[in-house]
Amino acid sequence: MQAQRAGCFSFLGKAGCVVVGLVILAIILIGLAVCRSANWLSEEMREPPDRPAPQAPPAEPMPGDPV
């Protein structure tokens, strides 16, 4: 009799190992993408704007308001 070697998950077999590996790889890649986009956003926030922010025009007095 030959002893069965247990894979990653004995109920899934070799396919289970492949699936688990792919899921872990996908999680790592998604994490790296999120970190890169977060760094890119924070760098953009740190840079001072080239031009000043547009100011709202002075409000005109309503007719009948004391000046």
Greater model confidence, 67 or 57: 57
Q: 26-61 in b/e burial notation, b at 16+ Cβ within 10 A?
A: eeeeeeeeeeeeeeeeeeeeeeeeeeeeeeeeeeee
> How high is the pLDDT of residue 43?
64
Rounded to an integer, what distance in angstroms lies between the CA atom of residue 3 and that of residue 36?
47
Rounded to an integer, what distance in angstroms lies between the CA atom of residue 41 and that of residue 65?
45
Q: What is the pTM assigned to this prediction?
A: 0.43
Phi, psi at 47, each rounded to 5°: -65, 130
pLDDT in tens, 10-62: 666 777 788 888 999 999 999 888 877 777 666 666 655 566 666 666 667 77
